């Protein structure tokens, strides 16, 4: 669809890239190369005024609007065919003020962590540094520190939002409290967040790394993990993964590409706790890579394996119990994993993340103990079918053992599951949506329909 990009270009200070631009293909590329969307234009906003002008222009022209922070969304919800992409990557400033960080809506996690680290502070975020703070935060934000410091949203204290009518509001527990509630788990449904304010935690160097076990031990390790970790103090974070060893340093050559079960450990503080000592003494690992590591280094340690441009198909669920039958499913599917990057992770979300009520924020799965993701991943588009089929079959086989609904940030475009993603909070979210975005201008997301 032809769109007059000139009209938009004169309305904003940032650059506008239309389909005729020589860098259009680079500009429209998303992290997940399985998604190939062709927007009418991409506007690189530099401030709130640009965002408001872009929203106004999109509405006037009848264009669907997508909001892009890091472009990591698995379903490609940071872009839209024949519509307008509001790209926030130029708005990536991170400013530290005491124990607070003010973070631009387009900052990447690694931008945030590098800056907070200079002050001996950190924020609990996702495990890959190139993810955008925007999508990650608004969906919840699970990571290495969830047991210790809560979800990313649990550390959000304020936000600046450009609403569908172009007005700019500040929101926190006192100002526009319903909006503030909805932003913490309700995704990009309510407006464009141009700045987040987070409360930070003291943490500089942590004890972290993977402990890898032979696939024959995967079931025993998972049986141990499901009992051990929930009984430990919050300071110890461990997630369980079924992973193939990356074919490169720092892993020894004899382990390259070997299928393994992994305990991925993060302990706040440099002194090994009794809990961590006990964890590291379990079973007979192939490798124990736990050691002191600065937080930003640890939080980007997997970026090389999961670099932009791979094909991704994934499914995310919440888990309250891991029965033996579920463990059998995990092991069976990992034995037939189609590509070495394809994986399953079970992130612990008990501890601090579970001590918030289901109705205190829009994220209504505080009763879950784990956030589970199954991901088919490979650089070769020829394998797109195989990784998709594997992921779907695997996640279908796990259905009896997961909660209804699922984590919006780990979902593909799955309209039938959207209501469940917001669980018991859906109806309240729909009321707030009707107040802040009655025309559903922000609908390129796991969409909440405005209440009638």
Ligand X SMILES: Cc1cc2nc3c(=O)[nH]c(=O)nc-3n(C[C@H](O)[C@H](O)[C@H](O)COP(=O)(O)OP(=O)(O)OC[C@H]3O[C@@H](n4cnc5c(N)ncnc54)[C@H](O)[C@@H]3O)c2cc1C
Burial letters 92-130, b for 16+ CB under 10 A, else e: bebeeeeebbebbbbbbbbbbbbbbbeeebbbbbbbbbb
CB of 53 to ligand X, least distance (A): 16
d(CA 450, CA 189): 10
Task: Mark out the alpha helices in 251-383 (DSSP H runs).
Answer: 274-280, 295-298, 324-335
CB of 131 to ligand X, least distance (A): 5
d(CA 131, CA 290): 24
Q: Which is nearer to ligand X, 25 or 335 (CB)?
A: 25
The two tokens of residue 314 are 């994934």
Q: Which is nearer to ligand X, 285 or 372 (CB)?
A: 372
d(CA 205, CA 73): 29
- CA neighbor of 172 nearest in space, from 162, 187, 186, 160: 160
Q: Which is nearer to ligand X, 68 or 366 (CB)?
A: 68
Angle value at C-alpha 379, between 41 and 241, nearest 5 degrees: 110
CB of 369 to ligand X, least distance (A): 16
Q: Helix %, strand %, coil % for the chain, to 5?
A: 35, 25, 45
d(CA 216, CA 207): 27
Phi then psi dihedrals of residue 87, to 5 deg: -95, 130
CB of 71 to ligand X, least distance (A): 5
DSSP tag of 246: P
Question: For 48, left (φ over 0), alpha (ψ -120 to 50), or beta?
Answer: alpha
CB of 104 to ligand X, least distance (A): 9
Name every residue whose Cβ is closer than 8 Å to that of residue 273 and which is 6 or more positions away in sequence.
233, 235, 236, 267
Catalog residues that contact ligand X under the rule CB under 6 A: 31, 67-74, 77-78, 88, 105, 126-128, 131-132, 134-136, 138-143, 187-188, 192-193, 306, 409, 444-445
Name every residue whose Cβ is closer than 8 Å to that of residue 260 and which is 6 or more positions away in sequence.
212, 213, 214, 215, 218, 242, 243, 244, 245, 286
CB of 406 to ligand X, least distance (A): 12
Q: Which is nearer to ligand X, 10 or 93 (CB)?
A: 93
CA dihedral 247, 216, 311, 133 (to 10 degrees): -90
Q: Which is nearer to ligand X, 142 or 212 (CB)?
A: 142
Q: Which is nearer to ligand X, 286 or 417 (CB)?
A: 417
CB of 78 to ligand X, least distance (A): 3
Q: Which is nearer to ligand X, 58 or 126 (CB)?
A: 126
Q: Which is nearer to ligand X, 103 or 286 (CB)?
A: 103
d(CA 145, CA 353): 9
Q: Which is nearer to ligand X, 273 or 435 (CB)?
A: 435
């Amino acid at each position: 669809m032809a769109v007059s990009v000139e009209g938009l270009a004169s309305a904003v200070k940032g650059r506008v890239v239309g389909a005729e631009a020589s860098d259009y293909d680079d500009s429209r590329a998303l992290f997940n190369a399985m998604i190939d969307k062709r927007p009418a234009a991409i506007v690189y906003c530099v401030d709130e005024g640009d965002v408001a002008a872009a929203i106004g222009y999109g509405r006037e022209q009848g264009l669907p609007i997508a909001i892009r922070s890091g472009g990591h969304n698995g379903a490609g919800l940071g872009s839209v065919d024949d519509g307008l992409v509001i790209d926030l990557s130029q708005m990536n400033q991170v400013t530290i003020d005491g124990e607070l960080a003010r973070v631009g809506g387009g900052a990447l996690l690694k931008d945030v962590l590098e800056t907070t680290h200079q002050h001996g502070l950190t924020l609990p975020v996702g495990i890959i540094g190139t993810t955008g703070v925007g999508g990650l935060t608004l969906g919840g934000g699970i990571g290495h520190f969830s047991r210790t410091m809560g979800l990313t949203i649990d550390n959000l204290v304020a936000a600046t939002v450009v609403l569908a009518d172009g007005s700019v509001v500040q929101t926190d527990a006192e100002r526009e409290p319903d909006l503030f509630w909805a932003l913490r788990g309700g995704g990009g449904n309510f407006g464009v967040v141009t700045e987040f304010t987070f409360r930070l935690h003291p943490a500089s160097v942590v004890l972290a790394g993977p402990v890898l076990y032979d696939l024959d031990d995967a079931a025993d390790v998972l049986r141990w993990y499901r009992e051990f970790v929930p009984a430990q103090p919050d300071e110890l974070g461990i997630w369980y993964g079924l992973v193939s060893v990356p074919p490169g340093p720092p892993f020894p050559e004899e382990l390259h590409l070997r299928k393994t079960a992994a305990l991925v450990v993060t302990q706040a503080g440099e002194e090994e706790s009794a809990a961590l000592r006990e964890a590291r003494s379990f079973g007979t690992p192939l490798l124990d890579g736990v050691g002191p590591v600065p937080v930003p280094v640890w939080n980007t340690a997997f970026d090389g394996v999961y670099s932009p441009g791979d094909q991704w198909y994934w499914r995310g669920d919440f888990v309250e119990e891991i029965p033996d039958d579920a463990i059998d499913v995990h092991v069976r599917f990992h034995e037939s994993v189609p590509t070495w990057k394809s994986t399953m992770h079970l992130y612990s979300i008990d501890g601090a993340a579970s001590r918030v009520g289901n109705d205190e924020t829009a994220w209504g799965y505080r009763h879950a103990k784990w956030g589970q993701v199954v991901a088919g991943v490979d650089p070769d588009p020829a394998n797109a079918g195989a990784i998709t089929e594997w992921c779907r079959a695997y996640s279908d086989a796990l259905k009896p053992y997961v909660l209804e609904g699922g984590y919006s940030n780990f979902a593909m475009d799955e309209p039938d599951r959207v209501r469940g993603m917001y669980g018991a909070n859906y109806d309240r979210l729909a009321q707030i949506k009707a107040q802040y975005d009655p025309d559903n201008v922000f609908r390129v997301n796991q969409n909440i329909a405005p209440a009638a």
